[in-house]
Amino acid sequence: MHQKILILDFGSQYTQLIARRVRELNVYCEIHPFNHFPEPDKSVKGIILSGSPHSVREKDSPRVPLESFYAHAPVLGVCYGAQLIAHEYGGKVEKSKVREYGRANLAKVEGKSELMKGVKKGSQVWMSHADTIMELPEGFRIIAGTADVPVAAYKIKQQEIYGLQFHPEVYHSTDGLKILGNFVYDICGCKGDWTPGSFVDETVEGLKKQLGKDKVIMALSGGVDSTVAARLIHNAIGKNLYCIFVDNGLLRKNEYENVLHSYKDFGLNVIGVDARERFYSKLKGVSDPEKKRKIIGGLFIEIFEEESKKIKGAKWLGQGTIYPDVIESVSVKGPSATIKSHHNVGGLPEKMDLKIVEPLRTLFKDEVRRVGRALKISSEFIDRHPFPGPGLAIRILGDITPEKVQIVQDADDIFISRLKKDKLYKKVWQAGAIFLPVQSVGVMGDERTYENVICLRAVTSTDGMTADWSHLPYEFLAAVSNEIINKVKGVNRVVFDISSKPPATIEWE
Ligand code: XMP
């Protein structure tokens, strides 16, 4: 069992960030809600208590059995976590005179403290709190302070219990990673040996034990998560993994052929299903975006089910679920943890009596990419832009016809190929061509034409939740526009979307 840090979540917006930073230090950690966590075992080397929108001054604010933690491993309280420890020991936590939010600098640092080792006076920290620790209990020692917040960090004498009023996990805390490193390495004694390579070895070993000679079925999408998950399972059980890759006719140009080919090159046991006509015929005349999504989702499940039934004796369903899907679905307030159900392929697991195997359920997206690289999966998969499940259906505004699909595929291919050629692809989070449901006038020779308009969409983002339009060079846009108008029959106008999210969205439907 790998060494780990347990992070207890009191509902702070930054809890995931604590986990990401600890993992950047190559230390494995898990987030659990404060009211629903596994009893710490020997593998738990340290416990971090997160921040919270609550105040320890509220009677029913979140509490945890601190005494049992202290007996088990070193504890670090961050913001609310620090206030909670101080409060429980009889310290004074009060509402701040002013809300302390944003950058501050440490005016005092006790360099001898193991937690603050290497942190210099003046170091910038990120504050975000409405309460302040005004008085520390007996036996507590201040180890850092700012001009406005005398108790910015403390330690309980003779015990490995620490509190930080600021957020070391936020990038604006310039020595934050150093402080977290001091905690996990020097105070908790973690080795820092949780690397993509070790993850692959341990996971494959674990999967071998878990799956034995059982058969696993899995849907592949060409995206990074399902590809990496399939490779891990494949490395464990080889041909007993049966992958299904469906062409819904709404993929990018040549995507189905290329991806299927690459999967076969990996040695994956993959069944390709050409279901284009079935999708087109069900989508005929449908313009409402939500209806399109429902039809595509429903038909996909139908086809996956038909194919799965052909694989006799399958016991498991493999899925590319990743950590944010797991923790986002665990409610801090609710009494029990429930996992998002939409990641399951319809009701298939119940219907076919399949158990679920999810080798990536402890990883963040960037970690999936690192693991993918450790598995030597090509950059073509690892660095691929996100692509929506309903595919080009939500990039063709209005009803869908095979002709429109071909136009948008050709325009998209020109756009994406040029992004790659001009080394702009990796600077963009996501890009594509949109088919607009209008026709515009143009001239070709002496004739006036009414033809289609293609809109180019490219955004920068870190998580898809917010996004800015990509400021692509004019020369680049001019070249793409020329090539589309010259080569794609039926298009006489190209426009570029300059809206950010919010208030716009990335997709047009
Ligand atoms: P929006 O358009 O909401 O997109 O800004 C955010 C991200 O989600 C993707 N997206 C979808 N993905 N099914 C999916 O699997 C969908 O119905 C869907 N709609 C949007 C979008 O491509 C972007 O990455």
DSSP string, 349-408: HHHTT-EEE-TTTT--HHHHHHHHHHTT--HHHHTPPP--TTGGGGTB-S---HHHHHHH
Provide mean pLDDT across the span 304-316. Answer: 95
pLDDT tier at 143, thresholds 50, 70, 90: very high
Helix/strand/coil for 293: helix
pTM: 0.83
Report the nearest atom of ligand 1 relative to the CA of 465. 6
Query: For residue 341, what pLDDT is reported?
Result: 41
Three-class SS state of 434: strand
Chain centroid offset of residue 140 CA: 38
Are 100 and 132 spatial neighbours (Cβ–Cβ below 8 Å)?
yes
Active site residue 87: no
Which CATH topology does 196-382 take? Rossmann fold (3.40.50)
In what side-by-side order are the strands of the sheet with 161-164? Answer: 28-33, 4-9, 44-49, 75-78, 161-164, 153-156, 140-146, 92-109, 124-135
Domain boundaries, the chain: 4-187, 196-382, 405-496
Give the pLDDT band (50/70/90) at residue 338: very low
Ligand 1 center from residue 90 Cα (angstroms): 49
Most informative mutation of 291, 340, 457, 506 for ligand 1 (most atoms within 8 A of CB): 506
CATH code for the domain defined by 4-187? 3.40.50.880
Catalytic annotation, pick one of 167, 190, 234, 455: 167
**pLDDT tens digits along 57-75:** 999 999 999 999 999 999 9
Q: How confident is the model at residue 328 (pLDDT cuts 50, 70, 90)?
A: low
Q: Closest Cα to atom 8, ligand 1: which residue?
A: 388
**Structure-model confidence comparison of residues 180 and 466, the more confident one:** 180
Nearest CA owner, ligand 1 atom 19 = 388
Q: pLDDT value at position 327?
A: 72
Per CATH, 4-187 and 196-382 having the same topology is answered: yes
pLDDT of 101 > 90? The answer is no
In the predicted model, what is the mean pLDDT of residues 23-48?
A: 95
In the DSSP assignment, the letter for residue 314 is E
Q: Which of 29, 30, 79, 190 is catalytic?
A: 79
Residues 147-169 have a mean pLDDT of 96
Query: Using a 6 Å CB cutoff, which residues line ligand 1?
Result: 293, 386, 388-390, 430, 464, 501, 505-507
Atom of ligand 1 nearest to the CA of 389: 15
Residue 22 has pLDDT above 50, yes or no: yes
For the 405-496 domain, the top CATH level (class) is: alpha beta
Residue whose CA is closest, atom 18 of ligand 1?
388
Select which of 30, 169, 358, 509 is catalytic. 169
Per-residue model confidence as pLDDT tens digits over 228-276: 999 999 999 999 999 999 999 999 999 999 999 999 998 999 999 999 9
Task: Give the pLDDT score at 288.
Answer: 96
Cα-Cα-Cα-Cα dihedral sign, residues 295, 298, 302, 308: positive
**For residue 345, pLDDT beyond 60:** no
Lowest mean pLDDT among 15-19, 314-318, 347-351, 409-413: 347-351
Quote the CA–CA distance of 66 and 80 in Å, as a whole number. 13
Ligand 1 atom nearest the C-alpha of 467 is: 5
